Structures are given as C-alpha cells and as structure tokens.
Chain A
Amino acid sequence: MDVRGRGVLITGASRGLGAALAKELGARGARLALVARGEQALAEVVTAIRDAGGQAHAIAADVGSKEDVYAIAGAAASLVGDVQLAVHNASTLGAVPLRLLADTACEDLERVLAVNVIGPFRLTKALAGPMLLRGGGLVVHVSSDAATGAYPRWGAYGASKAALDLLARTWASELEGTGVRFFGVDPGEMDTEMHAAAIPDADRASLARPADVAQRIAEMIRDDTIVSGALLDATAWRVER
C-alpha cells in the first residue's frame, strides 16, 4: 500500500518502534492518527512529524480500555478520514522485572491480554467495517518471537502475541478476497525502553535501532504482494536502499 495521502492509525506511537514508524510513514505522506496513553510524549512525536512537513494528530487513549475504542476510531475517522492502514503496535510486558508464570498474578495476565489482544481486536472490529465497505485496507500486528519461543519469564507476553498472530491469520482467512489484508511482523530485538525493562543488562550495541526496523516495516506495508495472514520477520527483511 502506498500510504501517501491515506489515513493511517498507529497505536503505541509515543515511544520506541511506534514513534519511529509514525515518523517514517509521516515522511512518506501518510495522514496519521497516533494513539498512546502518554500525552506529553505523543505530543512531541506529533510536533516532530509536523515540523518535518507531515500530517499527524495525537489521540490520547488507552487501547486496553473498552471505553476508549470508539473514541479512537471516531476521532481518527474525523481527523484523517477513512483509516486504510492500522498498525497495532501498543503492547505491555505485564509486570517487570518479568516473572515466571508460577509467580504471575492472574490480574497481570488479564491486563496483558486486554492491551495486547482484546484491545487490538476491538479496534480492528471498529476499523475493518469501513475497510470492507471500500474494498481495501491493511491491518498490521506487531508481534514477537516470544509468540512461538516459550521463553522462561515471557509467558504472559508470549501467550498474548501467540493469540494476536492467530487472530491475524484467522482474520485473513475469513476476509480473503475482500481486499482487506492482515499481516503480523516480529520486529526483532530493538533498543527501546520496553526492551530495557525486559532485559536491563542487554548489550545495547547489539540491538537494532527502531528507525531501521520502522523502515523495514514501512517497506512491508508498501509491498502488496505479501500474502494476507503472513507472519513476517523484520530482521530477515531486506531493504533496498
């Protein structure tokens, strides 16, 4: 999909990969509706995109809250028109430092599922209807190799990403032939606040920069030959420069 002039919604856009992807797609001419809880940080991202000549609006909201879903969808449609691309990037690790499942509070798992699975599902439901009417649209799930890895202490997060992956594949299967496409992408390990919270002693020099990963994901978005329902690995994605 060529994002130029199109309505694009990105969740978790105030920091890390979300902010980098917002700047990348803003530079490519997207009309951005950016969602995050952190109002101040989100405003700074919006200002940076506008200063660079892009179009962006800040929607301060919590993807994990049922009350906020129509507020996000309604505000986005009003501010940028039809949302033709939605990137579900917002996610939570749950309690940090990460814990064994045996030590994970059930309420923590509930919150992880609310933000990482149910929130994206609610928002997709609110956005996919108009996409189906117009016969086109793209929904991207930011996933993780924890969806398949069964890494110790990553159980709550990993289970949520596994569920998100299956949702992407099932949406794709159910909506085949409608022009509305889905894919999941594992961005790989990046130098972000979230990564530092999960693995405080990581060697930062070995981590990818969010801006580089954002560029790869932007190329995936541009590539209409990607089969709907695909689960992609950003670290293996080649970007032509």
Chain B
Amino acid sequence: MMPAAWPRDDPRATRLLHIDPARRTFVDGTIGALRTLLREGDLLVVNDAATLPGSLSGVTESGAPLEIRLGGEQADGSWRAVLFGAGDWRTRTEDRPAPPALAPGATLRFGVLTASIVVVDEQSPRLVSLEFDARGADLWRQIYRAGRPVQYAYAARALGLWDVQTAYAARPWAAEAPSAGFSLTWDLLLELRRRGIGIASVTHAAGLSSTGDATLDARLPLPEKYDVSVATVAAISATKARGGSVVAVGTTTMRALEGASSAGRLVAGEGTTDLVLGPLTRRAVVDGILTGAHEVASTHFTLLESFAPRPLLERAHAFADALGYLGHEFGDAFLILGPREDRS
C-alpha cells in the first residue's frame, strides 16, 4: 500500500473500508459513512493524547551528535527515550547509524536544555531513562522549543506539530500521534452526537512505532501509561447496558480500554499497561475498531486479528490496495465492526 506522504487538506475525503467480520464482507466508502455504520446508542472512544514534540537533536559531552525520541514522562518524573545516531528524518529509522554508547550519568545537551541518563536498558542500550535539568512550566517550554514531532521518512517534508494533532488533542502524552483520529472532524463528531452516537475519550501515551533496533522493535509496544475517566467508564457501561457497541478509535485507545480492564471489568483511573493485543486477546470492552490502513507485516495488523481472522484481513487489505487506498499515519481507514445482532 502506498503511504500517504502528507496530511489531507480535507479529512472528510479519507476513504473508509468497512470490514464486517461476521459476514466476511468489506465495503468501500468515505469516513462520513460512520454516520450510518454506527447506530444510535453506539459509542466512539478516542485517544485524546496530544502529540509531543518528542524528537530532540543534541550532542553528547564529547560533542557526538544524536537524536532522542521521547517515549513519555514516567511516574517518577524521568522520561523514557530512545537514542538515535547522527542524521535526520530523511533517513529511514532502520537505516540510521547507532547512537554513541552512553552510561548512566552521561549528559546530553539540546540547546539550553540538558538531560542526564539515569538508566540504560540491559538488552537494548539505545533505550534509556533520562532526567531533564528543568521542571514544570520551564521544562515544557524548553521541550517545545527544542523538540519537533517524530518525523517519517515517507513524508513529503518536515512535519510541524500542527500536522500531527487530532482535533481533540489535550495532554501531550503521545510519542507519536494517535493517527487513527486524523480522519475525524468536529463536523462529523458533532453530527454523530446528534444522531445519538456517544463520543468518549481516554488518554493513552502512544509509544514509538519504530526504534531502529530489531531487538527493541520486537519488544514493542513497551508498557504505556493511560488514563480512563470515570465519565468514560460510565459511558461504556451505559452503552453495554443498552446493547450498543463500543468502537475504539485506534489501537492505542483499545490498549487503554482493554489494559484498564480487570476480570472483564473496566476500572477508572490512571495506570500503566503491558497488555499486547493479538489473535488470542479476549476483548472485555471493545466491540469494533476504527484504524489506519497499516502494513500487513506490522504488529498493528496482528492486533486486528482480535477482531477478524487473518485471511479476511489480508483480503480486505489487498482489496483496499487495489482501490488505491493510502497507508501509514496520514492514510485511509478501516472500520472493523460486525452487525449489531452479532456483536459481543
């Protein structure tokens, strides 16, 4: 599938393939078809994490250039980060040189912002925890000044922060954009609400999609922070009680909702989940998913197997590809959702 090289001028033109896992059918349309594919009483849940300016270019104490990509702030105030060697986004992540070897205590400089390495991962030395020398409002100011959003080699040009935010972005928790929401305009969301379809949110610290290190990539997604509000838990309970469907926008929303479930019950609050979703996942909360059209080889695709068997997903993907669907973060969308009478 060809990647979309740039955000759409008009998200309403996003193509949507509806995959019905029960009937094993797929139908081509545009994102506006959600108006009829979702029904009164259904609930759409989005990830409202804003995208961090998480890519910072800097130097080590000896002057060696490197890039760090922030994976989000941890409970103790330190930040998880992945190190990359010299170069920039024009080189594919997997082709970038390895970063210089750094030990705990090493100092990194990003303009006026300084960070020191606290922990180096035993299996993958490019995965570190670091502490910045600034706090609170001052730290945020420096991060926004020094950082840019994580870039993609397939993009037509360098992405600004405004190119990678959803229409409802709130706290900056996401290392990379929760991109399944790019197709959702307020025009569409407000109309869905008028039709009796609920809109709720979680905040999930969507992590990096690629680290340039095969060993580390195999461990993705790393444990990620989430926050599920009391209001969202109530909206989901009410949806289930009236026989409606809960549709997650993006795999990160799904990870938060299923990760926050214990013994089949969704629990409100902040937490960290190490849940890895796949064909054997028993979903407690999510009935369907709106997701980007990602590559068949990706871990993302494995996750979708919790909704539909792989052969059906592969046929749907090939069908969309033949129709000219575009892939990756700024691409087209899939909705995997069965008919209501068959939904769990």
Q: Which residues of A contact B (CB under 8 A)?
A: 57-61, 66, 68-71, 73-75, 77-79, 81-82, 126, 129-130, 132-134, 175, 178
Q: Is the CB of A79 within 8 A of B162?
A: no
Q: Is the CB of A74 within 8 A of B137?
A: no
Question: Contacts A79-B136, A129-B167, A133-B48; is A61 near B141 (CB within 8 Å)?
Answer: yes
Q: Is the CB of A133 within 8 A of B144?
A: no
Question: Which of chain B's residues have a CB closer than 8 A to the CB of A126?
Answer: 165, 169
Shortest Cβ gap from A7 to chain B (Å): 10
Q: Is the CB of A71 within 8 A of B141?
A: yes
Shortest Cβ gap from A204 to chain B (Å): 34
From B53, B145, B168, A132 is in contact (CB under 8 Å) with B168
* Interface membership of B68, Cβ < 8 A: no
Q: Is the CB of B144 within 8 A of A129?
A: no
Question: Contacts A70-B50, A70-B161, A74-B144; is A79 near B168 (CB within 8 Å)?
Answer: no
**How many angstroms from the CA of A240 to the CA of B80 in the assembled complex?**
52
Q: Is the CB of B144 within 8 A of A75?
A: yes
Question: Contacts A74-B50, A129-B186, A133-B201; is A66 near B162 (CB within 8 Å)?
Answer: yes
Question: Contacts A66-B162, A71-B145, A78-B172; is A133 near B46 (CB within 8 Å)?
Answer: yes
Question: Which of chain A's residues have a CB closer than 8 A to the CB of B168?
Answer: 129-130, 132-133
Q: Is the CB of A82 within 8 A of B141?
A: no
Q: Is the CB of B189 within 8 A of A132?
A: yes
**How many angstroms from the CA of A58 to the CA of B144 in the assembled complex?**
15
Identify 18 new A-B residue pairs, CB closer than 8 A, beyond the known A82-B170, A129-B167, A130-B169: A57-B137, A66-B162, A70-B53, A70-B161, A70-B162, A71-B141, A74-B171, A74-B172, A75-B144, A77-B171, A78-B172, A79-B140, A81-B171, A129-B186, A130-B48, A130-B170, A133-B199, A133-B200
Q: Is the CB of A132 within 8 A of B141?
A: no
* Interface membership of B166, Cβ < 8 A: yes
**How many angstroms from the CA of A159 to the CA of B58 in the assembled complex?**
44
Chain B, 35-66, contact with A by CB distance < 8 Å: what is the 0/1 string? 00000000000101010110000000000000
Which residue of chain B has its CB nearest to the CB of A128?
B186
**How many angstroms from the CA of A70 to the CA of B231 in the assembled complex?**
26
Which residue of chain A has its CB nearest to the CB of B200?
A133
**How many angstroms from the CA of A43 to the CA of B171 in the assembled complex?**
23
Interface residues in B168-199 by Cβ distance below 8 A to A read 168-172, 186, 189-190, 199
Q: Is the CB of B141 within 8 A of A60?
A: yes
Q: Is the CB of A75 within 8 A of B170?
A: no
Q: Is the CB of A77 within 8 A of B186?
A: no
From A71, A79, A129, A178, B170 is in contact (CB under 8 Å) with A129
**How many angstroms from the CA of A133 to the CA of B50 in the assembled complex?**
14
Question: Which of chain A's residues have a CB closer than 8 A to the CB of B167?
Answer: 129
Q: Which residues of B contact A (CB under 8 A)?
A: 46, 48, 50, 52-53, 136-137, 140-141, 144-145, 161-162, 165-172, 186, 189-190, 199-201, 231
Q: Is the CB of B170 within 8 A of A70?
A: no
Question: Which of chain A's residues have a CB closer than 8 A to the CB of B166?
Answer: 129
Write 30 A-B pairs (CB below 8 A) sorted by A numbering.
A57-B137, A59-B141, A60-B141, A61-B141, A69-B162, A70-B50, A70-B144, A70-B161, A70-B162, A70-B165, A71-B144, A73-B50, A73-B169, A74-B50, A74-B144, A74-B171, A77-B50, A77-B170, A81-B171, A126-B165, A126-B169, A129-B48, A130-B168, A130-B170, A132-B168, A132-B186, A133-B48, A133-B168, A133-B200, A134-B231
Question: Which of chain B's residues have a CB closer than 8 A to the CB of A130?
Answer: 48, 168-170
Shortest Cβ gap from B268 to chain A (Å): 15
Which residue of chain B has its CB nearest to the CB of A57?
B137
Shortest Cβ gap from B135 to chain A (Å): 11
Question: Which of chain B's residues have a CB closer than 8 A to the CB of A60?
Answer: 141
For the complex of A and B, the 7 pairs showing the least CB-CB separation, nearest first, are A71-B144, A129-B168, A75-B140, A74-B172, A130-B170, A77-B171, A70-B161
Which residue of chain B has its CB nearest to the CB of A74?
B172
**How many angstroms from the CA of A70 to the CA of B162 in the assembled complex?**
7
Q: Is the CB of B169 within 8 A of A129?
A: yes
**How many angstroms from the CA of A81 to the CA of B172 in the assembled complex?**
11
**How many angstroms from the CA of A77 to the CA of B73 in the assembled complex?**
14
**How many angstroms from the CA of A58 to the CA of B136 in the assembled complex?**
10
Most buried by B among A59, A68, A82, A133: A133
Question: Which of chain B's residues have a CB closer than 8 A to the CB of A57?
Answer: 136-137
Shortest Cβ gap from B178 to chain A (Å): 13
Which residue of chain A has its CB nearest to the CB of B193?
A178
**How many angstroms from the CA of A77 to the CA of B144 in the assembled complex?**
13
Question: Which of chain A's residues have a CB closer than 8 A to the CB of B186?
Answer: 129, 132
Shortest Cβ gap from A121 to chain B (Å): 13
Which residue of chain B has its CB nearest to the CB of A68?
B144
Which residue of chain B has its CB nearest to the CB of A82?
B170
Question: Which of chain B's residues have a CB closer than 8 A to the CB of A132?
Answer: 168, 186, 189-190
**How many angstroms from the CA of A216 to the CA of B162 in the assembled complex?**
36
**How many angstroms from the CA of A71 to the CA of B161 in the assembled complex?**
9
**How many angstroms from the CA of A74 to the CA of B141 in the assembled complex?**
10
**How many angstroms from the CA of A156 to the CA of B319 in the assembled complex?**
56
Q: Is the CB of B137 within 8 A of A79?
A: yes
Shortest Cβ gap from A138 to chain B (Å): 16
Q: Is the CB of A77 within 8 A of B136?
A: no
Question: Which of chain A's residues have a CB closer than 8 A to the CB of B52?
Answer: 74
Most buried by A among B136, B169, B170: B170
Question: Which of chain B's residues have a CB closer than 8 A to the CB of A74?
Answer: 50, 52, 140, 144, 171-172
